[in-house]
Amino acid sequence: MPTSDKITTLLLAAGESARMGRSKQLLTFRNKTLLYHAAETARSVTPVTVVLGANHETHLDAIKQLPVEHIINKNWQSGMGSSLKTGLRHCIETNTELEAIIVMVCDQPLITSQHLLDLISRYHPTNKNIIATEYAQTLGVPALFKKSIFPKLLAIDDAHGAKKIITQNTNDIITIHFQDGALDLDTEQDYQNFISKDNT
């Protein structure tokens, strides 16, 4: 069950997966779509708002059995920043008690609910405003952003995602290492390599 209504996970799933050549959201991982798997993982920790865009009717059908909110970004082609801002505005408008969001994507299938809990566990005892995931000598999502960072997120340009805010605020960050965070399924070859290793 979600730990608190004061933290929401914003699952960004609006892209068309151009490099993959087919819907990344509907790729299967352990008999579930990546979109379902990510939403289910996040939902076990926080309430979830899924931002859909390209092929949204098909993607919505893939998660219709889950108790998650969804919102359609009609301008999804503008970039990930557009989807992030659309989702964040919705969360702010619908949850007056919102204190923080976790930004997450659906093509990191090895992200666990425990990792999301670890992000939240560092939320209260620190005065840092961003708790980011560290992997492969870089910082990225999933990342938790306190309310004080919302204006910066809402000001990013459409073409950039949350990582831009992370890299611009390195003095205001605590990191949590996640060994498998670097896995990112962008191409068909990436996916086939991942599935073959997961089945061994």
Cβ atoms of residues 30 and 66 within 8 Å: no
Q: What is the pLDDT of residue 1?
A: 45
Residue 130 confidence class, pLDDT cut points 50, 70, 90: very high
Kind of pairing, strands 100-105 and 138-146? Answer: antiparallel
Number of domains forming the structure of the chain: 1
Q: What is the pLDDT of residue 185?
A: 85
Is the residue at 139 inside a domain? yes
Is the residue at 1 inside a domain? no
pTM of the model: 0.94
Is the residue at 174 inside a domain? yes
Residue 101 scores a pLDDT above 50 = yes
| CA-to-CA dists, residue 81 to 7, 132, 151, 157, 161, angstroms | 20, 17, 13, 6, 5
| Strand ranges, E, within the chain | 7-13, 28-29, 32-33, 48-52, 69-72, 100-105, 130-135, 138-146, 173-177
Is the residue at 146 inside a domain? yes
Range of the domain at 131: 7-198
- The rounded distance, in Å, linking the Cα atoms of 161 and 87 is 12
Note if the bond before 142 is cis, omega within 30 degrees: yes
| CA-to-CA dists, residue 192 to 109, 141, 167, 196, angstroms | 14, 23, 31, 6
- pLDDT tens for 7-16 read 999 999 999 9
Residue 118 confidence class, pLDDT cut points 50, 70, 90: very high
Instruction: Look at the block and give the residue holding tokens 């999301």.
Output: 116
Is the residue at 2 inside a domain? no
- pLDDT tens for 33-89 read 999 999 999 999 999 999 999 999 999 999 999 999 999 999 999 999 999 999 999
- Residue 55 DSSP one-character state: B
Is the residue at 94 inside a domain? yes
Q: Which CATH number goes with the domain that contains 110?
A: 3.90.550.10
Residue 200 confidence class, pLDDT cut points 50, 70, 90: low
Phi-psi region of 93 (alpha: psi -120 to 50; beta: other; left: phi over 0): alpha
Give the residue, 184 or 197, on which the prediction is more confident.
197
Average pLDDT, the chain: 93
Instruction: Look at the block and give the residue holding tokens 């923080």.
Output: 100
